[in-house]
Chains A and B, each alone.
Chain A
Amino acid sequence: MIELNTDMVSQQALNQPLVEHLKVNKSFQPKELQALPQSDTNESFGSLIGDLVKKVDEKGKVAAEETNRLLLGETDNIHQSMIAMQESGLAFTMLVEVRNKLVQSYQELMKMPV
């Protein structure tokens, strides 16, 4: 799934409005890239990352709420609290890994001689 992200990075980088003023149309893209399924909604990469952060935050909130209810004695479902904590921790780890890979691929892109 991480590899798919970097493909999307390069694809979105090519489709970005910043490059559009160079009038890069579809025929200049390599054939492999044209063969990839294009997203119809044309969401920018920023919204994808924003979505991810929002989901991770939601998971964190669910975990915090479960633990709060356990601490206040409203429930004795300790396993739900443990599972929620683990899930939110994993989601956060995934966010951190995605960020690391993005930074890494950005640095690789920057190293490319233009």
Chain B
Amino acid sequence: MIDQIYDRENYVLAKKLLDVSHARHEAISGNLANVETPGYKRVDIKTDFAEELKKLAKSNDIESISALRATLETDLNSPSVRPDGNNVQLDSELMKMNKNAMQYEFLTQYTANSLKRIKTAITGRVM
């Protein structure tokens, strides 16, 4: 009975995306730390992760959404702007970080709101 409250698709998706956003921030901070290191290639979330998540969301399989893991991979497609092979672009990386932070904030707001709504339904008192 308890699990059905928390098994709604949007809520599970939001939780999984929080994990992804957190991992992405770690990857981006690693990239920004190595913006001057010769030969460094930037790291990001695997590019087909979004497709996998969309496929699982369409199939309505709650368990496998929770089991999906965001993995980091080296991004070789980004153009190299420096002669030493480093392909981290400072401004684009900063922009990605800000966008990621916004997404994280939205996801925490959404999760907090969901939990508050459930609490209102259970206790019958509007907080």
B19 interface residue (CB < 8 Å to A): yes
- CB-CB nearest in chain B for A48: B1
B123, A93: Cβ atoms closer than 8 Å: yes
A83, B2: Cβ atoms closer than 8 Å: no
A contact set with B: CB distance below 8 Å: 48, 51-52, 55-56, 59, 76-77, 79-80, 83, 86-87, 90-91, 93-94, 97
How many pairs of A and B residues are in contact by the CB < 8 Å rule? 43
B18, A56: Cβ atoms closer than 8 Å: no
B99 interface residue (CB < 8 Å to A): no
Bound together, the chains give a CA A93 to CA B15 distance in angstroms of 21
Majority-rule SS of A interface residues: helix
Q: Which of B37-45, B72-80, B86-94, B114-122 contacts A (4 or more CB under 8 A)?
A: B114-122
With beta carbons under 8 angstroms apart, the residue of B18, B19, B22, B122 that contacts A93 is: B122
How far is the CB of B45 from the nearest CB of chain A, in Å? 16
Bound together, the chains give a CA A83 to CA B19 distance in angstroms of 12
- CB-CB nearest in chain B for A58: B2
B122, A90: Cβ atoms closer than 8 Å: yes
- CB-CB nearest in chain A for B26: A76
Bound together, the chains give a CA A48 to CA B19 distance in angstroms of 34
- CB-CB nearest in chain B for A91: B2
